[in-house]
Amino acid sequence: MMNLVCFTEERSAKEMLQIIIPKILPANYNLHHIIAFDGKQDLEKQIKLKLKNWQLPNTKFLIIRDQDSGDCITIKKELLEKVEFSGKQDVSLVRIACRELESFYLGDLLAIETGLNIKKLSKQQNKEKYRTPDTLPNAKKELQRIAKNYCQISGSRAISHHLKLNGSNKSTSFNFLISGIQKLCSTEP
């Protein structure tokens, strides 16, 4: 049996991953553990040693963090350097949520509509800002604006149950996350 271990910068990402990953993992994989750090600085500070000291055999790793206002390429490069230091680069995947985790949700307004019980929200999916939610400078504020009852952790849990995992999400970074997990877990170490 193979294991997948995930490292996230926040608990809301952990809530999402706990729901979506079991839906896409192959039968020979176990979602072993999801570690939510206390923000991106905590993740970046601890990731090298967490990976280097991980002893469970047959394990692959996913690291996910928000882009926020930083440069996506630089952030990913710096995380990949930390992974390389650990010696686990062949079994690790780094993904950046462009700009924030909430962009994933705004890419599937039907999931928000269903999860948070907001009538007719999905009809707005063809508006420009929802066609390309990864470009929104503050997706969390946008989600709070359209969903007054959105709270990060419970909202992530409620919405994630309804996210489409078939590549139809308007968030390109979400689709890259899903396809990256599938590719990572389709090969043996």
**pLDDT at 161 (0 to 100):** 98
- pLDDT band of residue 34 (cuts 50, 70, 90) is very high
Query: Domain segments of the chain: what residues?
Result: 2-100+171-184, 101-160
CA distance 47 to 22: 23
62-78 tens-digit pLDDT: 999 999 999 999 999 99
CA distance 4 to 39: 21
Task: Give residues with Cβ within 8 angstroms of 92, minimum separation 6.
Answer: 51, 60, 61, 62, 63, 83, 86
84-115 tens-digit pLDDT: 999 999 999 999 999 999 999 999 999 999 99
Instruction: Write the Ramachandran bin of 120: left for phi over 0, alpha for psi from -120 to 50, otherwise beta.
Output: left
Task: Give residues with Cβ within 8 angstroms of 52, minimum separation 6.
Answer: 85, 86, 87, 88
CA distance 107 to 172: 8
In the predicted model, what is the mean pLDDT of the chain? 96
- pLDDT band of residue 37 (cuts 50, 70, 90) is very high
- pLDDT band of residue 189 (cuts 50, 70, 90) is low
pLDDT for residue 24 is more than 90: yes
**pLDDT at 187 (0 to 100):** 73
127-138 tens-digit pLDDT: 999 999 999 999
Instruction: Write the Ramachandran bin of 8: left for phi over 0, alpha for psi from -120 to 50, otherwise beta.
Output: beta
What mean pLDDT comes out for the span 177-184?
Answer: 97
Contact 133, 139 (CB under 8 A): yes
pLDDT for residue 82 is more than 90: yes
163-173 tens-digit pLDDT: 999 999 999 99
pLDDT for residue 149 is more than 90: no
2-100+171-184 has CATH 1.20.1070 classification? no
Name beta bridge partners: 35: 7
Residue with tokens 């969390």: 140
